Structure 1
Amino acid sequence: MQYAVLGSTGVKVSRICLGTATFGVAPTAQDADQLVGAAIDLGINFVDTADVYGNMPVFDRPGAPAAADREPAEQILGRALRGRREDMIVATKSNGIVGRDINDRGLSRRHIIRQVETSLRRLETDYIDLYYAHDPDPDTPLEQTLAAYDDLIRQGKIRYVGLSNHPAWQVTQALWIADDRRLQPPVASQVKYNLIDRAAERELGPASERFGLSIIPYAPLHGGLLADLGVLDREVSGDQRFGAAGFTDTEIGIAREVDRLSRDWGLTAYQVSLAWLLSRAAVSSVIVGAETVDELSANATAADVQLDTAQLDALTALAAEPGAFHHRAGDGPEPPAAAG
């Protein structure tokens, strides 16, 4: 396993990060312990979760327990990390809808503090290494959010702050605010980024390089399409795992070419796709939502793959010009109806 420094923290994280969005579905709650143990054995020391992962209806799929019968992913992860918490850099997030009350969401001081306390209990730990704002919150000034994070850092409950799904201008604004008010600045930006979806390259990539933030991509294999074309034969694949659409013909065409090039180079599509992403200047680690130990073990090999300039250029040329950045504010499920 290879490692890289996380932003300006000096902390080294594995270039492959274990994602837990589907913990409780795939892997099951019973199998998650084995997957976490396998990650540690592979040298992976970075794991990503969130307060809304695992037990929301959006993660439902045939054959899995219903949302109401599933534990939160944080709770499953906390149990799996018993006795080995110090081996991992744990990242989690808040902002999503977590209850019926109108204030059970967002990035207000009230909600952040409540969710940090909830996450600490679920994760069975007394600190969180990296805490993200899961999405922008148009109703809460960034000043308030960053001040709340700064207080939590001073209390020892979180170590570092990150922004997830924020466009470059908001990341830059957060850095300005932190500098002006002597608050702890964000050190990482988590965003969807892969060979097919390269919108992050338009502004977020250059801004992150300039200001020393790490980009931590999620969906690095575009829902499995850039890992193995066999995903097209699955009943549920891609963003269908989260209640969204399947793959477009254009996306499938790019994946077929990645598969062809990979075979020509004596590599696999997942190795090539992840190695290309890890070659981007600001990318420190990529989040792999492996559902089995075999998937995780295979993906982990990409950290040791070094593509030459000609190979990287051939891959980069496959996708169209990066599109405008899109964040998820306003997306997602409607809040549940109030009781009574």
Structure 2
Amino acid sequence: MVTSVDRSSETMAPLLMEEKEAAMKYSVLGTTGVKVSRICLGTATFGVAPIAQDADRLVGAAIDLGINFVDTADVYGNLPVFDRPGAPAAADREPAEQILGRALRGRRDQLVLATKSNGIVGPDVNDRGLSRRHIIRQVESSLRRLQTDYIDLYYAHDPDPDTPLEQTLATYDDLIRQGKIRYVGLSNHPAWQVTQALWIADDRRLQAPVAAQVKYNLIDRAAERELGPACQQFGLSIVPYAPLHGGLLADLAVLDREVSGDQRFGAAGFSDSEIAVAQWVDRLARAWGLAPYQVSLAWLLSRPAVASAIVGAETPEELHANATAADVELDRAQLDTLTALAAGLVP
């Protein structure tokens, strides 16, 4: 999720006045030949922010901005972990997929739609995982909620230690042959499992994963150690989530919010070291005549193998602001300065 822009701030006003309509750019997703917008609309908090009634307007704004890539999951939206003050309780919310499905009416074919499964979706011991039984059941449920007959990109949401990867990939291959999903991705999988999946797919002539979704931003760069080089070597795209680190890399005003960062999911807030990096990003962005969210996203989109960044905008205004980053190109010196920040090397 990204923080809203404080348009009353005198320090931000000159930057915002210079913003123009985003000229969306596109990347090829892995080896698919399918082009996706460099900004992807995330829907994890659909039903909370935006509330269900406002989701249609946000999806429409995304399409108007040239965003053709939308990310969701079978567990998004109506779980207690997404609760926050002022929002409907989990029991009163619909799944994010269902809200998104209504918003996609008449627009479905304009979008590349990604969803996922593995999370806990019910009380039964088998209501989670990557078994053939669960995957097929969840694909059918997602198709109903999304009001579509196919899913463009289907992720394994997390690794499942109880199910052999061979079974999971074979199930995905069957679903591709049935026309229910088009391509497969892996989410939150370490590099060794991504590589293992490619070996299995090659050995058994199965459809191989084309994308890896992972948390990745200027502050959290663990993906660069092994996953990034593996994806670059084997032709997978990286699709980062939390590209603005819960809004901290978008605007320091997020620190004034009652709920921010991983607090949105029942976890802790920001650490002092994270705030220090964000403060430097803020200073650099203003010196370069840009907004922090533009600098943070432009840096991420410049990294090897990164195809598109998932932004969980809560309003069309936030989405428009983030979309402007797709048209920002930082020079080598600027990129190097930002890269050094996470290593503790301040300008």
> What is residue 16 of structure 2 aligned with on the other side?
none
Counterpart in 2 of 1:18? 41
Structure 2 letter corresponding to 1:125: T
Q: Deviations over 1:269-294 (max 9, x none)?
A: 00000000000010000000000110
Does residue 8 of the first structure (1) align with residue 31 of the second (2)? Answer: yes
Q: Which residue of 2 aligns with 1:53?
A: 76
Matches within 5 A, 1:129-208: 129-208=152-231
State the TM-score, normalizing by the size of structure 1: 0.94
What is the CA–CA distance in structure 2 between the aligned matches of 1:287 and 1:218, rounded to whole Å? 5
Aligned with residue 302 of structure 1, among 321, 325, 329: 325
Aligned AA (1:209)? Q
Query: What's the secondary structure of 2:115's corresponding residue?
Result: strand
Q: Give the gaps of 5 or more residues in structure 1.
A: 322-340
Q: Which residue pairs with 1:33 in the alignment?
A: 56
User: In structure 1, how many angstroms separate the alpha carbons of the residues matched to 2:110 and 2:103?
Assistant: 12
Instruction: Supply the distance in 2 between the matched residues of 1:58 and 1:84 (Cα, whole angstroms).
Output: 30
TM norm structure 2: 0.92
SS in 2 for 1:106: coil
Separation of aligned partners in 2, 1:320 and 1:57? 35
**2:300 is the alignment partner of 1:277:** yes
CA distance in structure 1 between the aligned counterparts of 2:244 and 2:265, rounded to whole angstroms: 15
Deviations 1:185-240 (A, max 9, x none): 00000000000000000000000000000000000000000000000000000000
Alpha-carbon separation, structure 1, partners of 2:46 and 2:156? 21
Equivalence for 1:248: 271
RMSD: 0.5
Q: Deviations over 1:267-319 (max 9, x none)?
A: 00000000000000100000000001100000000000000000000000000
CA distance in 2, matches of 1:138, 1:106: 9
- Per the TM alignment, residue 139 of structure 1 is displaced from its structure 2 partner at its CA by 0.1
Give the 3-state SS of the residue equivalent to 2:232 in structure 1: helix
User: Comparing both chains, which one has the higher relative contact order based on Cα–Cα distances under 8 Å and sequence gaps of 6 or more?
Assistant: 2
Letter in 1 for 2:274: E
Partner residue of 2:13? Answer: none
Moved over 4 A (4+): none
Alpha-carbon distance between aligned partners in 2 of 1:123 and 1:208, rounded to the nearest angstrom: 29
Matched residue, 1:92: 115
1:119 to 2:142 alignment: yes
Task: For residue 189 of structure 2, give the secondary structure of its aligned residue in structure 1.
Answer: coil
1:223 maps to 2:238: no
- Per-residue CA deviations over 1:26-63 (Å, capped at 9, x if unaligned) read 00000000000000000000000000000000000000
Residue type of the alignment partner of 1:93: K
| Equivalent residue, structure 2, for 1:338 | none
Q: 1:292 aligns with which of 310, 315, 334?
A: 315
**Which one-letter code corresponds to 1:112 in the other structure?**
I
Indicate yes or no: 2:305 matched with 1:314: no
- Cα distance in 2, alignment partners of residues 320 and 75 from structure 1: 42
CA–CA distance in 2 between the matches of 1:244 and 1:291? 20
Deviation at 1:320, TM superposition (A): 2.4
In 1, Cα distance between equivalents of 2:211 and 2:260: 28
Offset of residue 142 of structure 1: 0.2
Letter of the structure 2 residue corresponding to residue 189 of structure 1: A
Aligned match of 1:105: 128
Counterpart amino acid of residue 299 in structure 1: N
Distance 1:183 1:217 in 2: 25
